[in-house]
Amino acid sequence: MKIRKCVIPAAGLGTRLLPASKAVPKEMLPVVDTPVLELIVKEAVDSGIEEILIITGRDKSAIENHFDNNIELEDHLLKKNDHINLDKIDKIVNMARIFYTRQNKPLGLGHAILCAKEFIGNEPFAILLGDDIMRAKKPVTKQLIDCFNTYNAPVLGVQEVDESDINKYGIIDYEKIEEDTFFVNDMIEKPKLENAPSNKAILGRYVLTPEIFDILENQKPGVGGEIQLTDAIRNLLDIQKVYAYQFEGKRYDTGSKIGYLKAIVEFALVREDLSEEFEQYLKALLK
Ligand code: UTP
């Protein structure tokens, strides 16, 4: 079945980026001049997704405004004959069919995904975390969708992480099936290094099937008192095969200070209009 829909959870409190994330959703912080969330929506669209549900929450109205028309601004640009900026706005507004629903309380990623139950209905779907951005030759979500199309079962996007980072992620226990594809035996959310079954971490992209919703409905809070998606996928292992795909590409956790900084620097360094001057500046700075 074709993957047509995706969910982008963006209702978290973003406490790691306070005070910046107090009034501005962290998903709207700019990477050079493009909000994190716009980069994620673009990845979804480039992966063939047709309908996007963004899970929002309190104080997140900037998200809906960004993907909507702004008549006053557009009139102003039109009067000035600024077609470059008008085109930019037009592209954003017409990027995709975007829908919104609110997670009343940020009870965890698993709870945020459960808010998508009605929207998804009875078809497989992708999840793109609202603060994880990727730089890849082939869109990461497309890589996972291709894997889903081969195995017709849920696929988790994974990459190897440093030992010091293992306690930040969901970690899988696996069997290798083919280059970059693994059968998931088990998984554990934020393990201590000594309890970690591997160094392969689930990093911000998933393709799941609707069975996950029944499990999420009964899922008890886990690590941090939050309803964890990893715990629900672990329960899914009892009834379904689940695969992991080690995707090509570099991932940036823009919800952390260091991840956000790395994203800005690296995205600026590949921008035609900025790279030369910025590179010179960095070199001089580091001398
Ligand atoms: P994070 O764990 O990175 O988000 O969730 P957070 O809770 O906002 O982070 P900190 O620790 O307080 O800084 C990954 C994604 O899931 C969303 C977040 O918005 C983020 O895009 N999320 C998380 C929700 O939508 N709802 C939640 O209850 C939790």
Q: Is the CB of 92 under 6 A from ligand 1?
A: no
Question: How many CB atoms sit inside 10 A of residue 66's CB?
Answer: 19
Measured distance CA(10)–CA(32) in Å, rounded: 20
Distance from the alpha carbon of residue 11 to the mean position of ligand 1, in angstroms: 6
Instruction: Classify the phi-psi angles of 7: left when phi > 0, otherwise alpha if psi is within -120 to 50, otherwise beta.
Output: beta
Measured distance CA(10)–CA(257) in Å, rounded: 17
Q: Is the CB of 93 under 6 A from ligand 1?
A: no
Task: At 229, give phi and psi (nearest 5°).
Answer: -65, -40
- CA 14 to each of CA 8, 52, 58, 273, 283: distance values in angstroms, whole numbers, following the listed order: 15, 22, 12, 31, 32
Question: How many CB atoms sit inside 10 A of residue 29's CB?
Answer: 20
Instruction: Identify any residues that bridge with 184 across adjacent strands, giving them in sequence order.
Output: 174
Distance from the alpha carbon of residue 204 to the mean position of ligand 1, in angstroms: 11
| 128 touches 43 (CB < 8 A) | yes
Distance from the alpha carbon of residue 16 to the mean position of ligand 1, in angstroms: 10
Measured distance CA(143)–CA(162) in Å, rounded: 23
pLDDT of residue 112: 98
Mean pLDDT split into 10-residue runs, the chain, 287 residues: 95 95 95 97 97 91 93 95 94 94 94 98 98 98 98 97 94 96 95 95 97 96 90 95 98 97 98 96 94
- With a threshold of 0.85, does the pTM exceed it? yes
Amino acid, res. 212: I
Residue located via tokens 């939050």: 226
Q: Is the CB of 128 under 6 A from ligand 1?
A: no
pLDDT of residue 287: 87
Q: Looking at 190-275, which runs of residues are DSSP E strands?
A: 200-208, 243-246, 250-253
Q: Is the CB of 129 under 6 A from ligand 1?
A: yes
Q: Looking at the chain, which runs of residues are DSSP E strands?
A: 5-9, 30-31, 34-35, 51-56, 97-102, 125-128, 132-135, 155-160, 170-178, 181-189, 200-208, 243-246, 250-253
